[in-house]
Amino acid sequence: MKGEDWNPRGVEDEEFSAALHQRTEELYRIPNAETDDEGLITCAVLTMRDLVVFPRMVSPIFITPGPTLLAIQEAQDAGTTVIALTQRDPDIDDPQPDDYLPVGVEMAVGRLLSMPDGNSSALVQGRRRVEVVDFIQREPFYIIRARPIEESPDVDRQTDALMRTARDLFERCVQLDRSLPDEAHLFSINISEPGWLADMIATAISLPFKERQALLLTADPQDRLKRVNWLLAQELDVLQLEDEIQTRVQSEVDRSQREFYLREQMKAIQTELGEGDIWGREITELRAKVEQTALPVEARSAAMKEIERLAQMPPLAPEVGIIRTYLDWILELPWELSTPDNLDVRHAACILDQYHYGLGRAKDRILEYIAVRSLNPKKSRQPILCFVGPPGTGKTSLGRSIAEALGRKFVRLSLGGVRDEAEIRGHRRTYIGAMPGRILQTMKRAGTVNPLFMLDEIDKLGVDFRGDPAAALLEVLDPEQNFAFSDHYLELAYDLSRVMFITTANALGTIPAALLDRMEVIEFPGYIEEEKVEIAHRFLIPRQIEESGLADAEIQIMDSALKRLIREYTYEAGVRNLEREIGRMCRKVARMKSEKRRYPTRLGPNLIEKYLGPPQFFDTEAERQDEVGVATAVAWTENGGEIMPIEVLILEGKGNLQITGQIGDVMQESAQAALSYLKSRADQLGIQSESFERLDVHIHVPEGAIPKDGPSAGITMATALISAFTDRKVYKDVGMTGEITLRGRVLPIGGVREKVLSAHRAGLKRVILPERNLKDLVDVPKKVRTDLKIIPVNHMDQVIEVALYPAPFVEEKRHLRQRKSADKKVEKEKEEKEKEKVSPN
Ligand code: ADP
């Protein structure tokens, strides 16, 4: 027989509870078995497999057909009670007397009710504990004799305390345990007997079978109460823990329910306001937009997929914003729209000339490019052009004009300081705030698939631990790959093959080799003064006059004034600062005009200082003198060329070499080489070799200019060194560049045009160049070639001949030196005498 725990919750239905009441009444009417002379009762056994029913408790039980059913039927016929005996082990099917607990409960069994499954059920009510004495019948069911266990209803102080504790603990359990009805606690208050209270609580709370058995066996009421209290405390612990977990879970659930509720409310409000299902409408609109936009198949299906995801989400879900931004990107990037190319070479030539003076080579190359395109439109694999030159030499503005000539959109992206591959290629969408890389951002700005895309400052690209941006750029520029450029954010192949890329750089040296390989370099060497004046008259002045709001031809800047601006206010290879200074001049005049003051219409050189303040650069050449130990290098820097005086000083010391100023490793090495050469030639140059041991050499390269090519200062350092050791002056009007070997050979260097132009700009008269660099002079303007005398050299001996004052006769020199040391001796003696005078002792 299997049974269920007492569970008052099962009694809910009114009709059912009335029937139950009636059945309970009947139960109560059944009397206890009478004791015989020995004080024993004789009853049939009701076998309990896994159920313990305590005295006075009412429970339903379920009975399967068999001996137990027979026993009950017979007891009911006789109107007597039975004894419930619980098996020690519920798994035993045919229990023998020893398989039962030695203590059972006499109980009344109510009417049997047949159940649909063929079993029966009945209500039972425990009466009292009994102790088994012996089994007197075995077939067809057990009958035993048993001794009822009397319990004292008395309550002493200790028992009272135990009872209170039990009630308190039980009350708290009832509060926490949802399966216990509130009345259960009330019921416990009304029980006055300690044993009964213990049994009642044991019935109510959930206990393991073993615990119930143990409680049944504990005959002493006080002991039973103690045990129950201990069990209650444990149960309470578990319940409290459960409650905490429950509360936490509940608050989570509450929050999401609250959000759900608010969203539903918002929907209701929107409907009420006639705004209908905005979300639904938005999704529909998005779908329509994707359908109407010209997109490649892949992009369209990606967009649709995202929209379907969106449709599944409530409008305020956090991912909504992310998906919408992604969709916006897909929709706003140009996928198909292109501008038709104007490949008319003459038209292009007109436009390039219209906005730019000079730049013949660059213009020619571009016209060739356009011509090839027009003859063979399919040939898309033309090399990427790379414009290299100092700032302000018209690289960007020429690019703009090319775009105009071709009828393409023009966009620029500066790569200066880009160190992270993700800046080029974007971040994956899983990053918060992810965006496509700069390439696609710029394409979005262009709005067409075939803009002229200028990548500025490709020589300033950085590399660090976050990946190599140059590798990503390679993919951008490589026609083999760029038809399917991959951006981490977009995750769709994007076709860059119709873009015309032009890169710009100030210097070639720092461009990653792999990139440089794919590009055709066009140099923008910088302008000479006459060209600058021309550019100013034709383009810069008219533009600045217009920008400052003055009328055309209202003011005129005289050539002499422009030259002053160029020489004393700007010092550059390009014309950027010149344009700025012209702008400043124009604004001064504009202000006077708007203040209704008289203003000059012809601006001469004197007005410049008045308007722009004192000059910032001085005519360096005029200031300098022929000197010992100072030679002029012409160096190549990012800003074009610059002249750079290199100074050498020799001091008493121990033969050390010290180099200070703007120098890198390469320059340090070439200083060493120059010194070694000098030592090896000491004899021929008339230098005493001991002097290298007792003198320190100090070479100084001035700050300011940062030369890009270290070794080219070699011959200049050697010249300054020789000058210092031989006392021969260096001509101030000679500039020089060239690498020196230990044996004094002069090797070719780079950046010749910029260097020659800078020498010209600085007003030098002669430039010493390695002979093998002569070929680089072809692009130098004629004017410069006639103004400057270029002296090609192969060996340091030639340099010395050109740059240094002639050597005095060796005899003469020796005499000079002897006189010097004699003078020194006299001087020393004088000093010592003076000292003696001061300190008479
Ligand atoms: P870069 O890109 O080489 O640094 P920009 O193209 O920005 O230089 O040129 C700076 C300014 O100088 C622009 O206003 C440009 O129009 C003007 N400029 C430079 N070279 C020329 C030229 N050859 N003819 C006309 N204007 C020029």
Closest residue by CA, ligand 1 atom 25: 356
Q: Which atom of ligand 1 is nearest to the CA of 575?
A: 12
d(CA 545, CA 584): 10
pLDDT digits (tens, 9 = 90+) for 767-803: 999 999 888 888 788 888 888 899 999 999 999 988 8
**pLDDT given at position 453:** 95
Tokens representing residue 568 in the block = 């004393």
Q: Which residues of the chain have pLDDT under 70?
A: 1-14, 16-17, 274-278, 378-381, 463-467, 618-623, 662-663, 703-710, 808-817, 837-841
CA of 541 to the centre of ligand 1 (A): 13
Q: 489: Cβ–Cβ under 8 A, 6 or more apart, which residues?
A: 326, 329, 426, 427, 428, 429, 434, 435, 436, 437, 440
- 577 CA to middle of ligand 1, Å? 10
The reported pLDDT for the residue numbered 8 is 43
Q: Looking at residue 623, what is its pLDDT?
A: 62
**Measured from the CB, is residue 543 less than 6 Å from ligand 1?**
no
What is the structure's pLDDT at 5?
37
Query: Phi/psi at 821 (nearest 5 deg)?
Result: -70, -30
Index of the ligand 1 atom closest to the CA of residue 389: 3
pLDDT of residue 2: 37
Amino acid 134: pLDDT: 92
Neighbours of 93 (CB within 10 A): 6
Per-residue confidence (pLDDT) for residue 11, from 0 to 100? 45
Closest ligand 1 atom to residue 543 Cα is: 14
Structure confidence at residue 314 (pLDDT): 74
Q: Is the CB of 454 under 6 A from ligand 1?
A: no
- The two structure tokens encoding residue 232: 């209650």
532 lines ligand 1 (CB under 6 A): no
DSSP string spanning 64-125? -SSHHHHHHHHHHHHT--EEEEEBSSTT-SS--GGGB-SEEEEEEE---EE-TTS-EEEEEE
Provide the residue type at 295 as one letter: L
For residue 466, what pLDDT is reported?
62
User: Which residues, other chains included, contact 496 with Cβ-Cβ below 8 Å and sequence gap of 6+?
Assistant: 439, 443, 476, 482, 483, 485
**Active-site residues: which are they?**
712, 755
CA 621 to chain centroid, in Å, comes to 52
CA dihedral sign of residues 400, 405, 411, 413: negative
pLDDT at 155: 85
394 lines ligand 1 (CB under 6 A): yes
Task: Give the residue whose CA is nearest to atom 17 of ligand 1.
Answer: 394
Q: Is 170 in the pocket of ligand 1 (CB under 6 A)?
A: no
363 lines ligand 1 (CB under 6 A): no
Q: Label residue 318 exposed, middle or buried (CB < 10 Å: 0-12, 13-18, 19+).
A: exposed
Rounded-to-integer distance, Cα 434 and Cα 425, Å: 11
Partners of residue 729 on adjacent β-strands: 628
Q: What is the pTM of this model?
A: 0.59
CA nearest neighbour of 157 among 218, 230, 222: 222
* Identity of residue 599: Y
Amino acid 549: pLDDT? 84
CB 374 within 8 A of CB 343: yes
| Residue 523 CA to ligand 1 centre (angstroms) | 14
pLDDT of residue 13: 58
| Lookup: tokens for 470 | 């140059």
With the most atoms of ligand 1 within 8 angstroms of its CB, the residue from 356, 363, 397 to mutate is 397
CA of 639 relative to ligand 1 center, distance in Å: 14
Cα–Cα distance, 807 to 610 (Å, whole number): 48
Answer whether 510 contacts ligand 1 (Cβ < 6 A). no
Residue in the block written with tokens 């240094």: 804
Q: How far apart are CA 195 and CA 197, in angstroms?
A: 5
- Residue 411 to residue 399: CA distance in whole angstroms: 10
Burial call 294-313: b when 16+ CB within 10 Å, e when fewer: ebeeebbebbbebbeebeee
What residue type is 110 in one-letter code? G
